[in-house]
């Protein structure tokens, strides 16, 4: 059944004059383009095909003044467009960091966005995301306070956050289903992100939501090529169940390198750690002595959590798990830095530039970038 015809429209005019008026000034690039990485050959009755390839778009500033590339990895049901603009037509985090001298690589994970999908080669897809799900979880959670206590604090979505509003429709148009087999999705991503790092060298990874495991898998697969991970509300907490599968290895559904070695997830002895903060939940950690994650050590990690997302209840579980396993991890709660009212898709919200500045400041504190022209 279909509803009445209603064409989607942009949230603001997009003619040349409008864009010039809204511009922050020329974005001067030395290079911009795309390439593919990862993937593997499969033989179908029709012949050989490629599956699991990842789309990568690069933006290299003319004024290249930061030492490490920044790789941006989108969340579940999304695509790299999450970093290329906001629903109300403002510049995205890709622009913000390019303007500060970062080379930026924006990916579409296998089977999402511009990375092709076909069930014969990637497997079954999960159900599509409904407008009601996005409204409740992303754009107007304050109207559903029964879901989690912090929902009432959400204020930063541009517009009312309802289907039919131009900002919501722009957000909804990019939403798509993910692979139904979470383990296979993580194995595909592991191969693709390793190929990307082999191509561009040591990098900082900025991940979001269901893209969070990409960071842990990248470090596990190419430990010498990850300089830092900024994990914005990553999938979790450890060992949680999702619609596509369980994070059976703690942080991922694909194997991680533990020391002493763990041959299977069942080798990991667990206990439930009670919450230390009001409004949060108990999360799984390892029983002591905890196995270490040696390939996630030796570089700084930030877990970034907003004030009004459902993830504010359990991101501490990911922090605890990483810390217990020997990682250098810090929890950046936005409200503790005076940044209020954000939900899960903080890079799309009204104060997205303020959050980008906080992330840049954190990288500068860790000696990984220079801060200029905030």
Q: Encoding tokens for residue 255? A: 């194997």
* 11 lies in some domain: no
* 8 lies in some domain: no
* 17 lies in some domain: no
The pTM for the full model equals 0.94
Cis peptide before 220 (omega within 30 of 0): no
* 14 lies in some domain: no
301 SS3 class: strand
Predicted local confidence at residue 14, as pLDDT: 61
* 12 lies in some domain: no
Predicted local confidence at residue 374, as pLDDT: 52
Report the sign of the C-alpha dihedral through residues 281, 287, 292, 298, in that order: positive
* 160 lies in some domain: yes
The string of pLDDT tens digits covering residues 273-325 is 999 899 999 999 999 999 999 999 999 999 999 999 999 999 999 999 999 99
Q: Which residues are marked as active site? A: 209
Predicted local confidence at residue 79, as pLDDT: 94
Quote the number of domains for the chain.
1
* 125 lies in some domain: yes
Those residues whose C-beta lies under 8 Å from the C-beta of residue 238, and which sit 6 or more positions away, are 247, 250, 251, 283, 284, 285, 317, 318, 321
Rounded Cα distance, 314 and 242, in Å: 14
Range of the domain at 83: 25-365
Torsion (CA) 355, 94, 157, 90 in degrees, nearest 10: 120
Q: Which of 331, 238, 333, 240 is nearest to 293 (CA)?
A: 238
* 158 lies in some domain: yes
In this prediction, the residues of the chain whose per-residue pLDDT falls under 70 are 1-6, 13-23, 371-374
The string of pLDDT tens digits covering residues 232-279 is 999 999 999 987 789 999 999 999 999 999 999 999 999 999 998 999
Pairing assessment for the beta strands 104-108 and 47-61 based on DSSP bridges? antiparallel
Rounded Cα distance, 245 and 291, in Å: 23
Find the CATH number of the domain harbouring 215: 3.40.50.1820
End-to-end CA distance of the chain: 49
Structure-token match 């003319």, residue found: 62
């Amino acid at each position: 059944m279909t509803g009445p015809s209603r064409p989607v429209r942009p949230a603001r005019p997009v003619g040349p004059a409008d864009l010039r008026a809204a511009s922050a000034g020329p974005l001067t690039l030395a290079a911009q383009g795309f390439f593919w990485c990862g993937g593997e050959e499969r033989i179908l009755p029709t012949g050989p095909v490629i599956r699991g390839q990842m789309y990568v778009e690069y933006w290299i500033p003319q004024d290249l003044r930061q030492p490490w590339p920044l790789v941006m990895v989108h969340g579940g049901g999304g695509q790299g467009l999450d970093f290329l603009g906001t629903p109300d037509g403002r510049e995205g985090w890709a622009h913000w960091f390019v303007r500060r001298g970062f080379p930026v690589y924006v990916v579409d994970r296998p089977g999402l966005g511009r990375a092709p999908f076909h069930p014969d080669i990637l497997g079954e897809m999960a159900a599509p995301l409904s407008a009601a799900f996005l409204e409740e979880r992303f754009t107007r959670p304050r109207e559903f306070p029964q879901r989690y206590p912090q929902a009432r604090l959400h204020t930063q979505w541009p517009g009312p956050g309802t289907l039919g509003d131009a900002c919501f429709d722009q957000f909804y148009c990019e939403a798509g289903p993910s692979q139904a087999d979470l383990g296979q999705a993580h194995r595909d991503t592991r191969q693709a992100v390793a190929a990307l790092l082999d191509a561009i060298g040591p990098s900082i990874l900025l991940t979001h939501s269901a893209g969070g495991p990409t960071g842990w898998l990248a470090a596990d697969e190419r430990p010498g090529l990850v300089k830092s991970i900024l994990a914005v509300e990553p999938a979790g907490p450890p060992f949680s169940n999702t619609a596509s599968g369980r994070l059976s290895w703690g942080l991922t559904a694909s194997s991680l390198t533990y020391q002493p070695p763990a041959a299977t997830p069942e080798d990991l002895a667990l206990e439930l750690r009670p919450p230390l903060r009001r409004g949060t939940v108990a999360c799984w950690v390892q029983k002591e002595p905890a196995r270490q994650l040696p390939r996630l050590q030796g570089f700084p990690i930030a877990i970034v959590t907003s004030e009004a997302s459902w993830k504010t209840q359990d991101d501490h579980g990911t922090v605890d798990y990483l810390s217990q396993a020997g990682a250098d991890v810090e929890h950046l709660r936005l409200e503790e830095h005076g940044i209020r009212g954000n939900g899960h898709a903080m890079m799309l919200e009204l104060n997205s530039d303020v959050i980008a500045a906080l992330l840049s400041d954190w990288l500068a504190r860790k000696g990984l970038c220079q801060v200029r022209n905030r």
